[in-house]
Amino acid sequence: MHRTRIKICGLTREEDVDAAVAAGADAVGFVMYAPSPRSVSAERAAELARRLPPFVTPVLLFVNADAPEIIAACARVPMALLQFHGDETPETCLRAGRPFLRAARIPLEENPAEGSAAFDLVKYAEDFKAAQAILLDAHVDGFGGGGKTFNWSLLPPSVNAHLVL
């Protein structure tokens, strides 16, 4: 039987990391994407990750980062799980050589914009089958953290047969 795991992401302060741990978070995410207001440096992520007790996983979130940036951050937070939240391909994610999560950007509305194809979550999960998990997030301008929810009824009825949510 599976259980829901909780990841609190975008933390930048010690007291927030401590509060997430006290609340029972399974993982704490640190944003490595400079345009985000919740971005931290690899050094800061390492400082914050050192506060985590055993069995609480640090997660480094990247958006279209280059290999040297990923390698440098992983050197600072060696036990981190990676999360890719940009336009990374399955091959790019695998090249990191670390366990990873892949964010799927779910449209906010049912009808895709003219000329664009509907998002196929089952195909996306198959494409990223090497991921430890697929994280579902609302597709907003920019990347993640928009505070929006998507319409869960837009997920295909067969999603539970293919994914662990």
- List the domains of the chain with CATH numbers: 7-162 (3.20.20.70)
Q: Is 74 an annotated catalytic residue?
A: no
| Residue 165 pLDDT | 44
Whole-number pLDDT of residue 108: 73
pLDDT at 6 (0 to 100): 92
* Of 141 and 64, the one with more pLDDT: 64
The pLDDT, as a whole number, for residue 138 is: 83
The catalytically annotated residue of 9, 66, 74, 87 is: 9
Asked if residue 164 has pLDDT above 50, the reply is: no
Question: Catalytic site residue 26?
Answer: no
The residues pairing with 100 across neighbouring beta strands, listed in sequence order, are: 82
Give the pLDDT of residue 153: 78
**What is the β-pairing status of strands 7-9 and 81-84?**
unpaired
Phi, psi (rounded to 5 degrees) for 151? -80, 105
pLDDT at 41 over 90: yes
The pLDDT tens digits of the residues spanning 83-140 come to 999 999 999 999 999 999 999 988 777 655 555 567 788 899 999 999 999 988 888 7
58 in Cβ contact with 28 (< 8 Å): yes
